[in-house]
Amino acid sequence: MKTGFVTDSSSDIPAALAGQYGIEIVPVLININGKSYADGLEISREEFYTHLPALRSLPTTSSPSVGSF
């Protein structure tokens, strides 16, 4: 029997560590002004923090779908 580990991107596990231990990381969704972005795929942390001061309303997050896991 094989065992694996899966988490979402809010865990902030570094990519090198995830690769070393075979941890699968599923991106959470970051919701900004009515649009959703997959964390780390459609928006980087740097992009998020660059745009944060100019946002009219605070961004939210939502869980990945069951299918994503």
pLDDT for res 68: 79
Instruction: Provide the terminal-to-terminal Cα distance of the chain, rounded to the nearest Å.
Output: 19
Stated length of the chain: 69
**Domain-embedded: residue 56:** yes
The model's pTM? 0.80
**Measured distance CA(19)–CA(40) in Å, rounded:** 16
Q: What is the mean pLDDT of residues 39-47?
A: 94
**Measured distance CA(52)–CA(19) in Å, rounded:** 30
Say which CATH number the domain at 28 has.
3.40.50.10170
How many structural domains comprise the chain? Answer: 1
**Domain-embedded: residue 58:** yes
**Domain-embedded: residue 67:** no
Q: Band of the pLDDT at 66, cuts 50, 70, 90?
A: confident
